[in-house]
Structure 1
Amino acid sequence: MALSYSDALDYLYSLINYEVQRPERYAPEVVSLERPRALLAALGNPQERYPCLHLTGTKGKGSVSAMCASVLSAAGLRVGLYSSPHLQDFRERIRLNDALIAPELLASLVERVQPYVARLAGLTWFEVVTAIAFMAFAEVSVDVAVIEVGLGGRLDATNILRAPLTTTVTSLSYDHTHLLGNTLPQIAFEKAGIFKRGVPAISAPQPLEALAVLERIAAERNAPLIVVGRDVPFEVGQGDEFGQTFRLMEGAWRGEYWTPLLGAHQALNGAVALATLEQAHKAGLPISRQAIHSGLAQVNWAGRLEVVRRAPYLLLDSAHNAASAERLRDSLQSLFLNSTERRLILIFGAFSDKDVSGMFRALLPLADQLILMQPISPRAFSTDQLAELALQAGYTGTLHSCPSAQEALARAEQLAAPSDVICATGSLSVVGELRSVLGLKPGRAAYLDERAVQLRQNRLV
């Protein structure tokens, strides 16, 4: 009897899962490439049957990956996208031309991989899921796959890729410091671990000490390093509550572009995506200017300053470190809190390995009401712990403890006037749980169904 989808998920979640319980050390004897390399070799190395773009970074790697995949799809290619974590549905991790992997295909791949997993001791959940993603893309004969690193880069299971078309490092900041290091050079070293000999490496603008590490490792591997801002000049354009423009200043693709992803930081992500795609184009992928305009305009990436309701505004953002909270603060101030009549009601939940104090420093000065929730995870801070951290950060406003997503949303809606802004953030789990409470479709951003966004898309597609 064929394995069912639910049985397949039960099997996967029975494996060692470092997304639920982080490893104590990020070292080869704990997090190893040997296990996934052996598994994929036994499976016939499906990841070598198609070209790949490989991306890492602290912030923006998901958005850049989604932009790249969307443009490649608009170019008429059959595109696989592997990303993590998911917001609501496991199948969001493995997409084929933006469609979530079919439950039947996933179940059949899990069934095929089980005997090999049984023969290789110590394989983790992410290592097996990565192998399944590579198998899925080979199964449907993708033309290209966009592969996002899970954690770090050097020892990540995705780093068994031997010769991707490009490697990309998005913006670096402090996250997972107990594993990747507590300095930017240490974090950059781990991220630059995906650089391959002779393969173009693209980087977002970085702090000088991080950039120096990227430059050194790129030089050691004879990998041409293209730094956005330095080698690919761009300008942040106009942004509003429906999208963001940016302009490439030089090259064959110079000109203005628009994406429905909100905030000035998405202009940077867009420039990094186009710098990556330019190198992929030079390597032989057919990408036209029209595909770029169309793909950026149609990019589907939920939970990134996602407007899911208006009057009052309800925003969902996956910021989960200090740097991303600062970007969220800037976007809230410029796009939504630009009227004295608007109050901010902040829903916040976070995991215990995150810099909550740094996030609170950025966001609490804007908040008129603070609603604390506890994501469903053993790694989550309790609402009592978050309340203590908020008080330590100097918060003097009204504080509400509403552990479940349903309670937190109901309290926010009770408090909000039509002119107010409700923003939920602090963790991807917070965003995913609220999307489920709201009945939003997994893997589909709410803005894709807004008329104002559709009108702008139609002018560019």
Structure 2
Amino acid sequence: MNGGGKAWLESLSVRGIRPGLESITSLLDALGSPQKAYRTIHVAGSDGKGSVCCMLESILISAGYRVGMFTSPQIISVNECIRIDGKDICDESFERVIQEVREASERTCECTNFEALTACAFLAFKEAGVDIAIIEVGMGGRLDATNVLDPEVTVINNIGMEHTQFLGNDLHTIASEKAGIMKPGVPCVTMNTGDALDAIKEKADELGCPLVCVDPDDIDVLNCAPDHTMIRYDCSTYRLGLPGSYQGRNAALAIETVQLLKDSSKIKRFIPIGLEAATWPCRMQKIDGLPLIIDATHTVKGAEFLSQDIDRIYGKVILVTAMLNDKDMDGVAKLLSKIAIRVLVSSPDSPRAAPAETLASCYRKYHDAVTAYSTVADAVETALKQEGTVLVTGSFRTAEDCLKWLKRIR
């Protein structure tokens, strides 16, 4: 294809989001069901999925396993979505699997971008000979293209109100959709409470799934620093390579997940090593040489933890933010306004972007110093000319715009 595979993959974006398993099942059947060639861990939730995945990846790599990891969306390059032993898939391997997926699609079905990307990941992991793959749900769970696995463990992280046009208008319904990744007899780890936990328990009872419920009160955050977090959990102390108190919750989920693997006795001693070595971009990421922090938080629960951690570590900040139009902008604005000296609002480079003035109107309810800018780059550049630490947050696309601007100026 002479490098044209990614262009074909991107061209599928016009087909939008199409929940359902019929197309992905046909596509994978045509590829010889590559997802059956290795063990899997399936991870769902509204917040923290990627962090849990990267912690599990780091622990398993530390234990000597060959590990695949599929997450989305990417920040800069789509290669980021498919990792093998902690490294993004190389262009040559990516082009090869895209070609195979494209040919299978032409024989079977018109797939979406995410269905094709999922198939590429599953095929790449088979060809790389991974021992185990960590698979993050794209959206929801029950009808997500990743939900064709026979996982060894499932994980359902914090669930919030999101994607309501696809998943439902209340927390119980959304949680029921996410609990759709649970399989008969397969253990599930969660940290949800209230209506979300009720929905997960109902599914666990229906399917006979052993359910491990992590209690947040069992996690003691001992220290939060710009480059790490110290926690105590289950009578052990851990240094996490990811900053932020909320990473303690993600670490607890990763620890409990490892304990449920069939060979956990060989892996458990590598948990501290893996948690300390884990890194994940745009999670309270401090940029070297600049008073700049980038975080991809885009939910109310995420904003709640982010505001607490930023205030604890850095104090008040200059806030640069841009969001997508299907998120709870007002809920996030109410929380992040509390830590802002001033707010610089923009619109990310995305067809789903919320207009800058729409987001600005949310922030003006809670803050007096709010200014709208035409691009994230303009907002960041302006913010960095002022005295103080700058926090850029609101979406993965906001983080992408900021990182692209940084690349241009450096």
Q: Same fold (TM over 0.5)?
A: yes
Matched, 1:335 2:313: yes
Residue 70 of structure 1 is matched in structure 2 by 58
Residue 6 of structure 2 is matched in structure 1 by 9
Q: Distance in 1 between matches of 2:251 and 2:312?
A: 19
Residue 148 of structure 2 is matched in structure 1 by 160
Q: How far apart are 1:15 and its partner, in Å?
A: 1.1
Q: How far apart are 1:322 and its partner, in Å?
A: 1.3
User: Quick check: 2:258–2:268 contact (8 Å CA) kept in 1?
Assistant: no
**CA deviation profile, 1:188-230 (whole Å, cap 9, x unmatched):** 10111000011111111x2222111111101111110001128
Given candidates 53, 60, 82, the residue that maps to 2:48 is 60
Matched, 1:293 2:290: no
Give the residue type in structure 2 aligned to 1:207. Answer: T
Q: Distance in 1 between matches of 2:385 and 2:222?
A: 36
Matched, 1:188 2:188: no
Give the residue type in structure 2 aligned to 1:317. Answer: D
Matched, 1:400 2:386: no
**Percent identity of equivalent pairs:** 32
Question: Secondary structure at 1:261's aligned position in 2?
Answer: coil
User: Quick check: 1:349–1:427 contact (8 Å CA) kept in 2?
Assistant: yes
Residue 199 of structure 2 is matched in structure 1 by 213
User: Quick check: 2:334–2:363 contact (8 Å CA) kept in 1?
Assistant: no
Matched, 1:305 2:305: no
Q: How far apart are 1:330 and its partner, in Å?
A: 0.7
Mark the CA change 1:17 to 1:141 in structure 2 (over 3 Å): closer, same or farther.
Answer: farther
Residue 136 of structure 2 is matched in structure 1 by 148
Given candidates 87, 111, 134, the residue that maps to 1:123 is 111
User: Quick check: 1:16–1:123 contact (8 Å CA) kept in 2?
Assistant: no
Residue 202 of structure 1 is matched in structure 2 by 189
Give the residue type in structure 1 aligned to 2:291. Answer: Y
**CA deviation profile, 1:324-376 (whole Å, cap 9, x unmatched):** 11111111111110xxxxx4211010111111111110011321221112211
Give the residue type in structure 2 aligned to 1:245. Answer: M
Q: Distance in 2 between matches of 1:284 and 1:77?
A: 11
Question: Secondary structure at 1:438's aligned position in 2?
Answer: helix
Mark the CA change 1:286 to 1:41 in structure 2 (over 3 Å): closer, same or farther.
Answer: farther
Q: How far apart are 1:263 and its partner, in Å?
A: 1.5
Residue 370 of structure 1 is matched in structure 2 by 343
Matched, 1:87 2:65: no
Where do residues 42-57 of structure 1 align in structure 2 (5 Å cutoff)? 42-57=30-45
Give the residue type in structure 1 aligned to 2:404. Answer: S
Residue 432 of structure 1 is matched in structure 2 by 400
Q: Distance in 1 between matches of 2:47 and 2:31?
A: 32
Q: How far apart are 1:279 and its partner, in Å?
A: 0.5
User: Quick check: 1:54–1:147 contact (8 Å CA) kept in 2?
Assistant: yes
Question: Secondary structure at 1:182's aligned position in 2?
Answer: coil
Matched, 1:351 2:349: no
Residue 40 of structure 1 is matched in structure 2 by 28
Give the residue type in structure 2 aligned to 1:276. Answer: T
TM-score normalised per structure 2: 0.95
Matched, 1:248 2:228: no
User: Quick check: 1:109–1:136 contact (8 Å CA) kept in 2?
Assistant: yes
Give the residue type in structure 2 aligned to 1:277. Answer: V
Q: How far apart are 1:233 and its partner, in Å?
A: 4.1
Q: How far apart are 1:242 and its partner, in Å?
A: 2.2
Residue 112 of structure 1 is matched in structure 2 by 100
Mark the CA change 1:191 to 1:16 in structure 2 (over 3 Å): closer, same or farther.
Answer: same
Q: Distance in 2 between matches of 1:261 and 1:289?
A: 20
User: Quick check: 1:72–1:287 contact (8 Å CA) kept in 2?
Assistant: no
User: Quick check: 1:4–1:104 contact (8 Å CA) kept in 2?
Assistant: no
Residue 382 of structure 1 is matched in structure 2 by 355
Q: How far apart are 1:89 and its partner, in Å?
A: 0.9
Q: Distance in 1 between matches of 2:227 and 2:280?
A: 14
Question: Secondary structure at 1:263's aligned position in 2?
Answer: coil
Give the unaligned 5+ runs of structure 1: 24-29, 338-342, 441-461
Residue 261 of structure 1 is matched in structure 2 by 242
Give the residue type in structure 2 aligned to 1:331. Answer: D
Residue 457 of structure 1 is matched in structure 2 by none
Q: How far apart are 1:286 and its partner, in Å?
A: 6.0
Q: How many residues align?
A: 408
Q: Distance in 2 between matches of 1:60 and 1:272?
A: 10
Matched, 1:413 2:391: no
Given candidates 216, 221, 231, the residue that maps to 1:236 is 221
**CA deviation profile, 1:361-419 (whole Å, cap 9, x unmatched):** 0011321221112211111012222222322x23211x33322232122101111x2xx
Q: Distance in 1 between matches of 2:307 and 2:135?
A: 29
Give the residue type in structure 2 aligned to 1:404. Answer: T
User: Quick check: 1:75–1:286 contact (8 Å CA) kept in 2?
Assistant: no
User: Quick check: 2:39–2:131 contact (8 Å CA) kept in 1?
Assistant: yes
Q: Distance in 2 between matches of 1:78 and 1:121?
A: 32
Q: How far apart are 1:262 and its partner, in Å?
A: 1.4
Residue 86 of structure 2 is matched in structure 1 by 98
Q: Distance in 2 between matches of 1:234 and 1:370?
A: 33
Give the residue type in structure 1 aligned to 2:178. Answer: K
Question: Secondary structure at 1:223's aligned position in 2?
Answer: coil
Question: Secondary structure at 1:237's aligned position in 2?
Answer: strand
Give the unaligned 5+ runs of structure 2: none
Question: Secondary structure at 2:247's aligned position in 1?
Answer: helix
Q: Distance in 2 between matches of 1:435 and 1:35?
A: 35
Q: CA RMSD in A?
A: 1.8
User: Quick check: 1:236–1:268 contact (8 Å CA) kept in 2?
Assistant: no
Give the residue type in structure 1 aligned to 2:232. Answer: R
User: Quick check: 2:291–2:384 contact (8 Å CA) kept in 1?
Assistant: no
Question: Secondary structure at 1:157's aligned position in 2?
Answer: coil
